[in-house]
Structure 1
Amino acid sequence: MHRALLLILLIFILSCNSQKEEQNSKPEPKGDVNTVYIPDFNENSAFEYLKKQVSFGPRVPNSNAHEECKNFLINEISKYADAVNVQEFTHSYLGKNFKLSNIIASFNLKSGFRILLCAHWDSRPYADEEREASKRIQPVPGANDGASGVAVLLEIARILKDNPAPIGVDIVFFDGEDLGIAGDLDNFCIGSKYFAKNKPVNYLPQFGILLDMVGDKELQIFKESNSVKYAPDVVNYVWGIARELGISEFRDEIKYNVYDDHIPLNEAGIRTIDIIDFDYPYWHTTEDTPDKCSPQSLGKVGKVLLNVIYRYKSKAKEPA
């Protein structure tokens, strides 16, 4: 059995009894920002993580930049997590075999009450939204589309090391999210599809949160319609915390229907929402670079997620 599957199976064995009790409970905050200790999110540290990923070059599968960034991500998150495993697999597309890797990190393995946080770490092989036709065959740097979500989660991993969470947290970096040609949904979200297909049937975190394009300087995060369809209570929980914190970039309106890594997870029974700013003019272009992003945007999303983690109300009993 693959090592990553062994890790997931271990988490399932530890958590199956308590999950039966809690699976139908609605997420709600435990206390408020004044009564529960919430670690500070270092937005500048997160932004350095964003720039570091982009510095390797476009993280296109089978490229040197992809391999170098993979090694960096594994080494970095291994400093903080209780367990890290790499799910390696191949995907055939357009006459090529692509070597892909999902990176799975887990925190507080003894907790039977878990949430899943995720983002994709690859970048798009072709800038097909460029106005100039000659640029459409160039790869996308992926500062916002890819690196921003990973940057927030790496910073959260660093925080979890020094401030153990009251619940179990699994962080997954998916590969192959942006591989497909426009409209070919079968060849998008390859990593999340593989993860969903190969998880133990009864591995069901309480919910999942996907981060995608959360670094835009002009951050505006609307509710995504598939997220509302699959997990309306989780959407309300997260947006409610943002509202309480005064983070107005989380808008209460529903906007956009996005096919993203949360779809395969929801189809596999992991209720997952997508935190995404789809109003990004540099999407799938060569201009998706760090100067279009800001530490402040990463910080706002990171602050919301830390409140989600440390304030989550758990009735589940820890295993002896």
Structure 2
Amino acid sequence: MKFFRFAPLVLAALLLTGCFDNKKSATETASPEHQKLPAAPSFIADSAYAYVAKQVAFGPRVPNTAAHVKTGDWVIGKFKRYGLTVREQPFEAMAFDGKMLRSRNIIAQFQPQAARRITIFTHWDTRPFADKDKEKKNAPFEGASDGASGVGIALEMARILAAQPDSLTPAVGVDFILFDSEDYGYDSSTQGNLTNKLANQEMQGGSSWCLGSQYWAKNLMPANYKSEYGILLDMVGAKGARFTREGQSLQVARDVVDKVWNTAAQIGYSDYFLFKDMGAITDDHVYTNQAGIRTIDIIDLPPFSDQTFPAYHHTTQDNLANIDKRTLKAVGQVVLQTIYGE
């Protein structure tokens, strides 16, 4: 998903420092000097790809559909198979078109007894219409990168962590929190003929997007949840993906952005993680930040384009053929190495 408006915290900062166009504003940041990193397990891209393919095979993961239920059950089963502590957070939320979405967030904890924790966020649902598609507007689509790729990386990380002997586990606990009903939002640029029944909610600081993270932020699970920081994975599997440094991530948790991007450069993935600062977008990290978890967004934001998001975004081109194992490897290895650096 992602909606291109400024989150309140970032907007407040911009009012102090001047305005800029979040499609165009980008600044170069110097890459770091290399430092020795602790050993981390190898992220297996073939395995992550298989998890993406399995999700896609269920069909579009649109709330209120059988494919959505089956996918959620499968994801939960995988986390449990790897020995993680798993919780479900069912909820209902009204979409912008008035539909009540039967939804559930999924929380899976590795080393739940650890006092220090890092959170990996992603969303697992699919947008119900390809409203940006020039030929098949409003057709269902696979959401292979936008949704399934983040889940695929999370599942592979869980598998790898669970397979390590006690002597080789990271020094922190890791929580995988998968949000539902993230991508059923109103896009005025493509759905101007429709009525956004959540417009009043948006005027009060909410959004028709990110319904699962909004619910979680108000109803933390586990109760009183805290972690040192969070990393949101969104649109992290496409061919040619480039991960620039998103605006609110920099505003709220620049040190975490630096940590992740420096790690990427040190292990050879600076072609994917570009030292280019971009404007802010609305994504799940807006609400996890509001909940007190300093969260950055790793998301495919093209650095040299008139468009905020890549061409496949919310089109039928976001399918399994769009997934590149090299992109999955880059993101998975960087995040895994970051965790082992704690």
The TM-score bracket by the shorter chain reads 0.7 to 0.9
Shift of 1:202: 4.4
Shift of 1:108: 0.8
Q: Which residue of 1 aligns with 2:53?
A: 51
Deviations 1:211-257 (A, max 9, x none): 00111110211000110011111001111101111211100011242
Contact 1:213-1:278 within 8 A present in 2 as well: no
Within-5 A mapping of 1:1-320: 32-33=36-37, 36-93=38-95, 94-132=97-135, 135-163=136-164, 164-183=169-188, 186-199=207-220, 202-248=224-270, 249-279=272-302, 280-312=310-342
Shift of 1:165: 2.5
More displaced 10-residue stretch of structure 1: 46-55 or 200-209: 200-209
The amino acid that maps onto 1:197 is K
The amino acid that maps onto 2:248 is N
Q: Which residue of 2 aligns with 1:24?
A: none
Identity %: 43
Shift of 1:139: 1.9
Q: What TM-score, normalized to structure 1?
A: 0.84
The amino acid that maps onto 1:32 is K
More displaced 10-residue stretch of structure 1: 275-284 or 226-235: 275-284
Q: Secondary structure at the match of 1:146?
A: helix
Shift of 1:281: 1.1
Q: Structure 1 pair 63/105, CA: closer, same or farther in 2 (3 Å)?
A: same
Shift of 1:97: 1.5
Q: Structure 1 pair 202/84, CA: closer, same or farther in 2 (3 Å)?
A: closer
Instruction: Spell out structure 1 runs of 4+ moving beyond 3 A.
Output: none
The amino acid that maps onto 1:243 is A
The amino acid that maps onto 1:77 is F
Write the distance in 1 (CA, Å) between the matches of 2:224 and 2:89.
19
Shift of 1:109: 1.4
Q: Structure 1 pair 172/201, CA: closer, same or farther in 2 (3 Å)?
A: closer
5+ residue gaps, structure 1, are 1-30, 313-320
Tell me the C-alpha RMSD between the 2 structures: 1.5
Q: Secondary structure at the match of 2:146?
A: helix
Q: Which residue of 2 aligns with 1:317?
A: none
Q: Would you tell me which structure has more helix in proportion to its own residues? A: 1
Deviations 1:95-151 (A, max 9, x none): 32110010100011121000110110001011111113xx22212210000011111
Write the distance in 2 (CA, Å) between the matches of 1:278 and 1:140.
20
Write the distance in 2 (CA, Å) between the matches of 1:216 and 1:92.
30
Contact 1:217-1:294 within 8 A present in 2 as well: yes
Write the distance in 2 (CA, Å) between the matches of 1:223 and 1:152.
20
Q: What TM-score, normalized to structure 2?
A: 0.78
Contact 1:128-1:285 within 8 A present in 2 as well: yes
